[in-house]
Amino acid sequence: MHNFQLFIKKNIIKGSTVVVGVSGGPDSLTLLHLFLSIKEEYSLKIVGAHVDHMFRAEQSEEEMLFVKDFCYQYNIPCEAKQIDIPAYLNRNKISSQAASREHRYNFYKEVMDTYNANYLALGHHGDDQIETILMRMVRGSTGEAMAGMKAVRKFHNGYIIRPLLTASKEEILQYCDLNGLEPRFDPSNEENKYTRNRFRNTVLPFLKSENPLVHERFQYFSETFLEDELYLKELTKEKMNTVLKRKEKSEVEMDTKLFLNLPLPLQRRCIQLILNYLYETIPSSLSSIHIESLLNLLSRDHPSGSLDYPNGLRVIKSYDNCLFTFDYDKSLPYEIPLSIPSTIVLPNGSAIDCGILKKPHFLKRGNDVFSLSVERLKEPLTIRSRKQGDKIKLKGMNGTKKVKDIFIDEKIPLHNRDIWPILEDGDGNILWVPGLKKSAFEEADCNGDYIFLQYKEL
C-alpha cells in the first residue's frame, strides 16, 4: 500500500498516539495492520477501539472478542464497549445508522481522552468515497459536502484521518489475503435496504467496468473540489461583511441590493454561510433547492415574499431587506387584552402606555398617541396582530382603507407587518394602527375623561 506510506508521511507527526476504529471488517483490520507495520518507524502509540452495537447478539459479541484478541496478539491496548443500540432505538426516534454513529463517535472521543490521542484513524476507502459523493449529489447536498469525506478533518482534540481513501475495496481484500488477515464480514453490508448499499451494488460495478481506477478519479475530484470550495468560501466571507446588516443568535439581516451585486457563485455561498451560522446542525432535509428558491425570490422584481426552511427558519424578503429568522412565529398571532391603566410590551419590541386622563390642558397629537372618551368606550380594548381583510375607517376620510395598504404605503417591511400592533374595541372596530394611522373613532376634544394611549419604541 504505497499510498498509505505517502499519506502518513504527509499527515502524521512522529511520536503521536493514534486510535484506530476497528469493526473487525476487512477495511479497518487492514488499516490497523498497516499502522502496526509503521509503528516503530514513526514511534507511534496505537490503540484499537471497537464498539459492539449489539444488533446481532452473539455474532456481534464474537466480533468484539475477535478485535480484542487481534490487538492482544500485537500487544497494543484495545478499548471495546457494548452499547445497546436496539434498546436506544425503542426510546428515541432516530435511524439505527445515525444512532450507531452518534454513540460510536462519542466512544471514540472517550478513548482519545483516555490516551491523550492526536488522531482517530478510520478505514473508509476509495469505493466508500465514490458512494458518498454520488449519494450526496443525488440528494442535493451543497458546498463542501459534495466533496465527500475529508481525508483529514478536525475532531475532538485532534483529527480524524482516513488514510485508505486512495485504495479500492479490491486492493484491501488483496492486502488481507497477502497478510493472512481473516476479517469478519458484516452481512448487513450486502442488503439493499440501505441507500449506500444500493449504490454499492448497482452503480459502483458499472463505474468500475468503465474505469477500474475510478476511485482515484473521484478522490482527485474530491480534493480539488474542496480546494476550490475553500477558496471561494474565503472570498465569500470577505464580501459578506459588506452585505450583512445584523447578525444575532437566531436572526441575520442582509441588504438585498448589495447581495445581488455579488457574483452568483458568491451569492450561493453567502446563503450557505448564513445557514451554517444559524443552524446548530444543518437539517438533513435542507438541500440545494432551498438555496436556489431563495436566489429566485431575491432576484425577482416583486418587492416582498417569504420562504419557510426546515426547523422553523423563515426567510423574508422585503424591499432592500432580507431577514433570516427563527423568532418569527413564536408570538404569532397574538391578542392582548388591554387593562387600564397599564404598560404592555409588544411582540415587535415596542410598548403601549395606557391610562385615564382628566380633561387635559394639552393633548399630544400624532400617530403614536390615541385618545378616546371613557363614556363612549366599547370594552374590552384589545391589542392584536393583523388579520386578513382588516379595514380601518380613517380619520378625516370617507369610507375605509385596508390595513394591508397602510403597511404598503408606509413601506413597513413584510416581517414587521405580521407583528405590528392593532388596537381593536369590543365591537371589533379597528381604532388605531399605532405609529401609522388613527381611525375616525378618536375623540381628542371631548369634555369628560379620556383614555390616553402612547405608543413608544423601547
Ligand X SMILES: Nc1ncnc2c1ncn2[C@@H]1O[C@H](COP(=O)(O)OP(=O)(O)OP(=O)(O)O)[C@@H](O)[C@H]1O
Chain residues that interact with ligand X, rule: CB under 6 A:
21-23, 25-28, 49-51, 104, 122-124, 186, 189
CB nearer ligand X, residue 23 or residue 168? 23
Provide CB contacts within 8 A for 159, sequence distance 6+: 118, 119, 120, 152, 153
Among the listed residues 23, 103, 110, 123, the one whose alpha carbon sits nearest the alpha carbon of residue 70: 23
CB nearer ligand X, residue 22 or residue 423? 22
Instruction: Report how far apart, in Å, the C-alpha atoms of 406 and of each of 74, 190, 419 are.
Output: 79, 64, 14
Q: Are 252 and 274 in contact (CB under 8 A)?
A: yes
Among the listed residues 394, 385, 391, 406, the one whose alpha carbon sits nearest the alpha carbon of residue 441: 394
What's the order of all strands across the beta sheet hosting 450-457? 342-345, 350-357, 450-457, 369-373
CB nearer ligand X, residue 50 or residue 437? 50
Residue with smallest beta-carbon separation from ligand X: 25
- Taking each continuous run of H as one helix and of E as one strand, the counts in the chain are 15, 22
**Count of beta carbons in the 10 Å neighbourhood of residue 27:** 24
The three cell numbers locating residue 123? 478505514
CB nearer ligand X, residue 44 or residue 275? 44
Strands, DSSP E only, in 96-141?
119-121
**Smallest distance from the beta carbon of 161 to ligand X, in angstroms?**
11
Check whether 28 is labelled as a binding-site residue: yes
**Smallest distance from the beta carbon of 248 to ligand X, in angstroms?**
38
CB nearer ligand X, residue 48 or residue 421? 48
CB nearer ligand X, residue 176 or residue 315? 176
**Smallest distance from the beta carbon of 327 to ligand X, in angstroms?**
39
Check whether 26 is labelled as a binding-site residue: yes
Supply the Cα-derived Rg of the chain in whole angstroms: 32
Check whether 355 is labelled as a binding-site residue: no
**Smallest distance from the beta carbon of 146 to ligand X, in angstroms?**
19
**Count of beta carbons in the 10 Å neighbourhood of residue 388:** 6
* Exposure class string for 211-223: b at 16+ Cβ within 10 A, else e: eeebbbebbebbe
**Smallest distance from the beta carbon of 100 to ligand X, in angstroms?**
8
**Smallest distance from the beta carbon of 28 to ligand X, in angstroms?**
3
Check whether 27 is labelled as a binding-site residue: yes
CB nearer ligand X, residue 180 or residue 399? 180
**Smallest distance from the beta carbon of 336 to ligand X, in angstroms?**
54
Binding-site residues for ATP sit at 23-28
